[in-house]
Amino acid sequence: MQDGQNSTVVGQNDAEPVDAYDRGADVVPYDETLLEKARTQWQFGDWQSLIAIERDTLQNHPERAKLALLVSAGHLQWGDASHAMQYIRLATDWGVDKKLLARILVAGTHNSLARAAAISGGQARAVKHFEAAISTGTPGADVRLLTQARIDAQISQLRLSGSTRLNGDSTLSSGNRLTPANLPRDVPAQVRQAWVNGAWTELAKLDNAELVDQSNRSELALYAAAGYQQMDDAEGLQRCIRLALEWGCSKQKVNAMLAAGIRNTFALTDTLAGQYETAAKSFTAALRIDHAEPKPQAVKARVRRQLKSLKNIDVEKTFDAIVEHIK
């Protein structure tokens, strides 16, 4: 099955290893349109359709590595990091091109950043990230047309009020870049330490009946949102973000916290893909927006705790492979 021109998610030069399909062996019937459909679903942000593609369907497909990668992208955007990583591992085992893997993961990061910006009302930043997601994953495509289709789908999934078309917004211009001074600090030390360590369940417990009566409720709600974000609880995430904003938390703080969470998820994805140096950089970046430069021991503590949440890995061996890149 031939891939499309360079306007597609996966191009003709994305090489895969020679296998039974190329040696003239008996070929099990497969859906010849599956890759094209999955590619279109990715472009339009139809994550639910992508995650509906089962492993058994991919097993005998000649383009199974690319398909597994697209399915993993769907799981990541749907908030299911565990299944996403399973499919990334499949794609890697089946010989997916490393450049293609990196391209799709970066595109997914841009989409997540766009969704985070949209939730917090940063329209201009959301549009830029949606455009970057499309141009990164589909080089040469009609970015303007596909971006609007992607925006419509993502806003619908987020169930945000108001128009589904994002327009310019100056609140997140280059003059309002995030700095450590913008981040929430009016919280107990143990709460901040829980965030540094990646104790997501503990943070989510801040979302309780007593929250409304706390003097620092906006900051606590934001930390609770960070916990929900890593626990793949979209409902809890959106509720706490809305509360944080209603109670006076700035959009800059919200975007900083959400971006940190996305970088943490990206680090886990890199880990499962065996990209340990990149994972180290992502884990460090996730903490850097809360500290001018995070101490190595803080990054290592985050790494170790996050690795324990992953299945079917050698925690100590993987930990050593990542921390050797942490200075």
CATH of the domain at 40: 1.25.40
Instruction: Kindly give, in sequence order, each residue whose CB lies less than 8 Å from that of residue 292, ignoring residues fewer than 6 positions away.
Output: 180
d(CA 269, CA 291): 23
Kindly state whether residues 144 and 197 are assigned to the same domain: no
d(CA 226, CA 229): 5
In a domain, 212, yes or no: yes
Backbone angles phi, psi at 312, to 5 degrees: 60, 40
**Which tokens hold the place of 300?**
């290592």
**Which tokens hold the place of 233?**
């609880």
Kindly state whether residues 124 and 223 are assigned to the same domain: no
Cβ-based neighbour number of residue 6 at 10 Å: 12
Kindly state whether residues 63 and 120 are assigned to the same domain: yes
In a domain, 167, yes or no: no
d(CA 283, CA 21): 39
Q: Quick check: 147 and 127 in contact, CB under 8 A?
A: yes
Kindly state whether residues 193 and 310 are assigned to the same domain: yes
* pLDDT on residue 259: 81
Kindly state whether residues 148 and 197 are assigned to the same domain: no
Kindly state whether residues 243 and 106 are assigned to the same domain: no
Instruction: Kindly give, in sequence order, each residue whose CB lies less than 8 Å from that of residue 229, ignoring residues fewer than 6 positions away.
Output: 200, 237, 258, 261
d(CA 289, CA 148): 30
| Enclosing domain of residue 99 | 20-158
d(CA 125, CA 166): 10
Taking the CA atoms of 307, 239, 242 and 42 in sequence, report the sign of the dihedral they define.
positive
Kindly state whether residues 130 and 188 are assigned to the same domain: no
Kindly state whether residues 312 and 230 are assigned to the same domain: yes
Is this structure's pTM higher than 0.75? no
* pLDDT on residue 166: 52
Reference 286, options 271, 273, 247, 174; nearest CA is: 271
Q: Quick check: 254 and 237 in contact, CB under 8 A?
A: no
* pLDDT on residue 183: 38
* pLDDT on residue 258: 84
Q: Among 128, 158, 188, identify where a domain stops.
A: 158
* pLDDT on residue 276: 92
Q: Quick check: 294 and 197 in contact, CB under 8 A?
A: no
Give the DSSP H or E segment for 82: helix 81-93
Query: What is the C-alpha R_g of the chain?
Result: 20
Measure Cα distances from 212 to 65, 144, 208, 219, 229 in Å. 48, 43, 8, 11, 20
* pLDDT on residue 186: 53
* pLDDT on residue 289: 65
In a domain, 210, yes or no: yes
**Mean pLDDT in each 10-residue stretch from start to end of the chain (327 residues)?**
43 41 56 89 90 92 95 87 86 90 87 80 84 88 83 75 39 29 56 89 91 90 92 85 91 83 85 88 83 81 91 90 93
Residue type at 296 in one-letter notation: P
Residue type at 263 in one-letter notation: R
**Domain total in the chain:** 2
* pLDDT on residue 262: 84
Burial of residue 213, with CB atoms counted within 10 A of its CB: 0-12 exposed, 13-18 middle, 19 or more buried = exposed
